[in-house]
Amino acid sequence: MVTGQGRIGRAVRVWLPIGFFLVVALFPFYWMAITSIKPNAELYNKNVMPLMVHAPTLKHYVDLLTQSSFLLWTWNTMLVAVVATAISLVLGTMLAYPLARMRFAGASLIAMTIAAIYLVPQPLLFIPLADVINRLNLGNTLTSVILTYPTMLVPFCAWLLLGYFKTIPKELEEAARIDGASRLQTMWTIFLPLCTPGFISAGIFAFTLSQNEFLYALIFLTKSSVRTVPVGVIAELIRGDVFYWGQLMAGALLGSIPVALIYSFFVEHYVAGLTAGSVKA
How do residues 38-74 score in pLDDT, each as one tens digit?
988 888 877 777 788 888 889 999 999 998 899 999 9
What is the predicted pLDDT for the residue at 281?
A: 44
Beta strands 238-239 and 242-243 are antiparallel
| Residue 7 shares a structural domain with residue 92 | no
Instruction: With respect to residue 43, please indicate whether it lies within any of the assigned structural domains.
Output: no
Burial of residue 121, with CB atoms counted within 10 A of its CB: 0-12 exposed, 13-18 middle, 19 or more buried = exposed
Question: For residue 47, is it within any domain?
Answer: no
Is 44 domain-assigned?
no
Q: Based on the structure, what is the number of domains in the chain?
A: 2
Q: How far is CA 87 from the centre of its chain?
A: 15
Print the domain residue range for 11.
1-27
Question: Do 12 and 141 reside in the same domain of the chain?
Answer: no
Global pTM reads 0.82
137: Cα separation from own chain's centroid: 28
Domain assignment of residue 52, yes or no: no
| 96 and 206 housed in the same domain | yes
Measured between alpha carbons, how far is 202 from 155 in angstroms, rounded to an integer?
Answer: 11
51 DSSP 8-state letter: T
Residue 166 φ then ψ, to 5°: -70, -15
Q: Which of 18-27, 164-173, 191-200, 272-281 has the lowest mean pLDDT?
A: 272-281
C-alpha distances (whole Å) from 110 to each of 87, 98, 107 are: 20, 11, 5
